[in-house]
């Protein structure tokens, strides 16, 4: 698991831009991403009527910053080829949980975890986990676009270069495919040597998505990816999520209820570090099972 992938030059393919309409039935598009010989336990702790197996399984997962709770006893399954939104008031553990999925919290001192967090059947908190490979499998996009002060090309080629890919034609191919997948290629194809910092905020965020996609992750984590963007750039990122979900598993933290309703298939409501409710987004917004969820989604608190 998490073995570094090698790239081979593909046979002639025009592009990998995905044109699947948002939320079309995924039955026909499903790729196998979970080992078929893996037998999951039979209890379902999240709504799943698609016969798909979870790609991320959190089992009584807790994270503390020293004595402070980040998240407590989170048990939830996240399904592939869909967008899962994490919603909830500020400080309730949304980012903590998201960062836990690729162990970004490891960089923070005094962090300690309990329980299990599996990605594709592997407990990622196992000592043997290779963090570089994990973060290539589970890419992350942050609140503020954070391109490196390098060219557009070098940003998109960063991950593959780290993976040891040196052939120029191979890197060029990956850069083009990643920029196409992030719906940025047409805007930058003549300026690949230009500094990434010269791009607009929305373009920088799409470049960060391209940079994450370049290592061919299975999972894309997005922590309030539109909160620094204007409505037009936000719309483009939301459209992009709709396109990417047929290939990737997207987990997005958002404090924007409309955005969660627009982009996600399932939504998890967090409060004070705990998972209060997790269900189909339509149910969370129209008929939540818990009073706390209802109060939050109707704007009564938060």
Considering only residues 26, 94, 236, 266, which one is a binding residue for ligand ADP as defined by CB under 6 A?
A: 94
Mask for 30-69, x = binds ligand ADP (CB under 6 A): -----------------------------------x--x-
Closest listed residue to residue 187, CA positions, set 272, 301, 198, 229: 198
- For Mg ion, the binding residues (CB under 5 A) are 95
Closest listed residue to residue 182, CA positions, set 166, 168, 203, 159: 203
Q: Rounded to an integer, what distance in angstroms lies between the CA atom of residue 166 and that of residue 175? A: 13
State the nearest-atom distance from the C-beta of 168 to ligand ADP, in Å: 40
State the nearest-atom distance from the C-beta of 255 to ligand ADP, in Å: 8
Q: Rounded to an integer, what distance in angstroms lies between the CA atom of residue 55 and that of residue 150? A: 33
Mask for 118-157, x = binds ligand ADP (CB under 6 A): ----------------------------------------
Of 74 and 244, CB closest to ligand ADP: 74
Q: Rounded to an integer, what distance in angstroms lies between the CA atom of residue 64 and that of residue 235? A: 35
Of 68 and 127, CB closest to ligand ADP: 68
The residue range among 8-16, 83-91, 151-159, 294-302 that interacts with ligand ADP, by the rule CB under 6 A, is 83-91
Q: For residue 278, how far is the Cα from the chain centroid?
A: 17
Q: Is the C-alpha dihedral spanning 144, 150, 156, 161 positive or negative? A: negative
- Burial (0-12, 13-18, 19+ Cβ within 10 Å), 70: buried
The residue range among 37-45, 88-96, 124-132, 237-245 that interacts with ligand ADP, by the rule CB under 6 A, is 88-96
Q: Indicate whether 107 belongs to the interface with ligand ADP (CB under 6 A).
A: no
Closest listed residue to residue 79, CA positions, set 48, 103, 110: 48
Which DSSP category does 299 fall into? T
State the nearest-atom distance from the C-beta of 100 to Mg ion, in Å: 12
Considering only residues 58, 95, 136, 246, which one is a binding residue for ligand ADP as defined by CB under 6 A?
A: 95
Q: For residue 13, how far is the Cα from the chain centroid?
A: 26
Residues engaged in binding ligand ADP (CB under 6 A): 65, 68, 70, 88, 90-96, 108
């Amino acid at each position: 698991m998490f073995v570094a992938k090698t790239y081979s030059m593909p046979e002639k393919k025009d592009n990998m831009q995905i044109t699947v309409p948002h939320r079309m039935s995924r039955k026909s598009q499903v790729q196998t991403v979970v080992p078929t010989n893996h037998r999951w336990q039979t209890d379902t702790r999240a709504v799943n009527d698609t016969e798909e197996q979870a790609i991320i399984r959190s089992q009584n997962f807790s994270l503390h910053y020293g004595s402070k709770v980040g998240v407590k006893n989170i048990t939830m399954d996240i399904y592939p080829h869909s967008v899962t939104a994490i919603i909830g008031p500020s400080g309730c553990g949304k980012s903590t949980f998201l960062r836990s999925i690729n162990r970004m919290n490891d960089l923070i001192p005094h962090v300690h975890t309990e329980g299990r967090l599996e990605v594709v059947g592997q407990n990622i908190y196992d000592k043997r986990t290779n963090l570089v490979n994990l973060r290539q499998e589970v890419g992350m996009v942050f609140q503020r676009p954070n391109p490196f002060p390098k060219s557009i090309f070098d940003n998109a080629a960063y991950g593959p270069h780290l993976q040891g890919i040196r052939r120029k034609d191979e890197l060029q191919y990956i850069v083009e495919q990643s920029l196409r997948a992030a719906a940025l290629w047409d805007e930058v194809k003549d300026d690949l040597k230009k500094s990434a910092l010269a791009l607009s905020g929305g373009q920088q965020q799409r470049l960060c998505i391209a940079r994450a996609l370049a290592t061919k992750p299975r999972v894309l984590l997005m922590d309030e990816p539109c909160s620094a963007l204007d409505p037009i750039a936000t719309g483009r990122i939301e459209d992009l999520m709709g396109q990417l979900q047929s290939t990737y598993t997207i987990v997005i933290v958002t404090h924007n209820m409309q955005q969660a309703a627009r982009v996600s298939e399932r939504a998890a409501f967090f409060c004070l570090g705990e998972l209060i409710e997790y269900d189909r987004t339509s149910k969370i917004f129209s008929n939540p099972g818990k009073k706390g969820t209802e109060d939050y989604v109707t704007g009564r608190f938060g």
